[in-house]
Amino acid sequence: MGVLTSKEISFLKAHEVCRLATASKDGKPHVVPVIYALDGENVLIAIDYGTKKLGNLRQNRQVALVVDDYRPNHAVMVEGECDIFEKGKEYLRLLKILFDRFEMYRKHPWGEGESPILKVRPTKAVMW
């Protein structure tokens, strides 16, 4: 059984920007807005090499993210473990999901080894 409810998944599918929180091995937090797609209940995020979030994730795979609306105030917070994909069959499958979701990715495509893809596997979710 999954962690996310169908209501939480529907809310996440209706949005495309989240705030992704990572932390270094010593717990120093870092939060940035990123666009995402869903693969079932897993959250997919393409990032660049050389970023603070990638450096943090190489030290600490625990993440949290929030997708929210201000008016009315609704949100989903997800905690989870993050896998980093850079090449291979799974990378190409995830890349297709991102390309299908975002026109800007289709207009400026990339291939294996050019941009890591994060897959956040939820361990906890809260909706309000």
Residue 117 near residue 85 (C-beta atoms within 8 A): yes
pLDDT at 66: 98
Per-residue pLDDT, 6: 96
pLDDT score at 55: 97
pTM of the model: 0.95
How high is the mean pLDDT in each 10-residue block of the chain (128 residues)? 92 98 96 98 97 97 97 96 98 98 95 96 98
Overall CATH class of domain 6-127: mainly beta
Give the per-residue pLDDT at 1.
58
Cα–Cα distance for residue pair 28/13, rounded to 1 Å: 30
Distance CA 38, CA 87 (A): 19
Contact yes or no for 46/115 (Cβ under 8 A): yes
What pLDDT does residue 115 have? Answer: 97
